[in-house]
């Protein structure tokens, strides 16, 4: 893992990905890991746009891990709805199968991908379609996690060419997560309980995977620091 505490721009990060992606055949898959509330989806979307601008074409797309949340019905039946977001509340096998399809499907043939709707609080199948995009930015909490009970998270790594970890101070995570739940229609009391008893516990679990990343990034205004 790179550690030099230097500042780096989004455009430089995009150039790094483009150079590595251009050196391999088929799709290049970059994993963007980090705790809940770190800003992974915002960062992935910005990196996609920077890559497309660099290439002058739509060469990248985001494949969020959150699209593989188990449905609320499945979680309710399992008695796990209040633990939603924890490692065993995702369809890990489905996520692995999706990554495999992106790897093995030739460019030009469509591969659909689900997203998570934060207003409906449900996964939505087929919301993203990969065709000619040669760079996949898959972002989520648990990309570097070891197996968690029956969930084989460690198998994710074989589908990733490189993995970055987006780090954020604990107090910033807590504030962001609280606001996220309230924007999603939850009460302040629910949001506070969810953050304290689930989200921040997940963040601690994810923090233990940081050392496995190829690159650790810290947001620093419009740029990032490599830590």
User: How do residues 105-130 score in pLDDT, each as one tens digit?
Assistant: 999 999 999 999 988 889 999 999 99
Q: Determine, yes or no, domain membership for 37.
A: yes
Name which of 182, 152, 169, 140 is nearest 227 in CA terms: 169
Cα–Cα dist 63/102, whole Å: 10
As a whole number of Å, the end-to-end CA separation of the chain is: 9
Q: Determine, yes or no, domain membership for 203.
A: no
Q: Determine, yes or no, domain membership for 180.
A: no
Buried b (16+ CB within 10 A) or exposed e, 72-104: eeebeeeeeeebbbbbebbbbeebbebbeebbe
Q: Determine, yes or no, domain membership for 221.
A: yes
Please check whether residue 70 is in contact with residue 122, taking contact to mean a CB–CB distance below 8 angstroms.
no
- What residue numbers bound the domain in which 112 lies? 6-169+209-226
Which range among 166-180, 198-212, 213-227 shows the weakest confidence by mean pLDDT? 166-180
**Is the pLDDT assigned to residue 174 strictly greater than 80?**
no
Show the tokens assigned to 19: 């150079």
Q: Determine, yes or no, domain membership for 41.
A: yes
Model confidence pLDDT, tens digit, residues 82-108: 888 899 999 999 999 999 999 999 999
The overall pTM is greater than 0.75? yes
Q: Which pLDDT score, from 0 to 100, does residue 4 have?
A: 53
Q: Determine, yes or no, domain membership for 198.
A: no
Residue 26, by phi and psi: left (phi above 0), alpha (psi -120 to 50) or beta?
A: left
- Strand 6-8 and strand 223-226: the pairing is antiparallel
Burial class (CB in 10 A: 0-12, 13-18, 19+), 169: exposed
Q: Determine, yes or no, domain membership for 1.
A: no
Number of domains the chain contains: 1
Helices and strands: H and E segment counts in the chain: 7, 9
Q: Determine, yes or no, domain membership for 200.
A: no
Whole-angstrom CA distances from 187 to 1, 80, 179, 182, 190 are: 40, 20, 10, 6, 5
**pLDDT averaged over every residue in the chain:** 90
**pLDDT band for position 5 (cuts 50, 70, 90):** low
CATH number, domain of 65, equals 3.40.50.300
- Strand 162-167 and strand 223-226: the pairing is unpaired
């Amino acid at each position: 893992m790179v550690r030099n505490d230097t500042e780096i721009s989004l455009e430089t990060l995009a150039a790094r990905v483009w150079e590595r992606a251009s050196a391999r055949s088929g799709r290049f898959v970059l994993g963007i890991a980090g705790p809940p509330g770190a800003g992974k989806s915002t960062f992935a979307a910005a990196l996609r746009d920077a890559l497309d601008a660099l290439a002058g074409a739509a060469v990248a797309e985001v494949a969020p891990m959150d699209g593989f949340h188990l449905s609320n019905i499945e979680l309710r039946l399992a008695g796990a709805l209040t633990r939603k977001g924890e490692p065993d509340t995702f369809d890990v096998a489905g996520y692995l199968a999706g990554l495999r399809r992106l790897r093995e499907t030739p460019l030009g043939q469509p591969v659909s991908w689900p997203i998570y709707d934060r207003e409906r609080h449900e996964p939505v199948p087929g919301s993203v379609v990969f065709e000619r995009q040669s760079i996949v930015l898959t972002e989520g909490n648990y990309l570097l996690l070891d197996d968690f009970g029956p969930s084989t998270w460690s198998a994710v790594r074989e589908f990733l060419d490189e993995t970055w970890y987006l780090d954020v101070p604990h107090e910033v995570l807590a504030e962001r997560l609280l606001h996220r739940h309230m924007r999603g229609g939850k009460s302040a009391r629910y949001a506070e309980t969810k953050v304290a008893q689930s989200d921040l516990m997940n963040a601690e679990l994810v923090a233990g995977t940081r050392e496995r990343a190829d690159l650790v990034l810290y947001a620093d205004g419009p740029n990032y620091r490599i830590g």
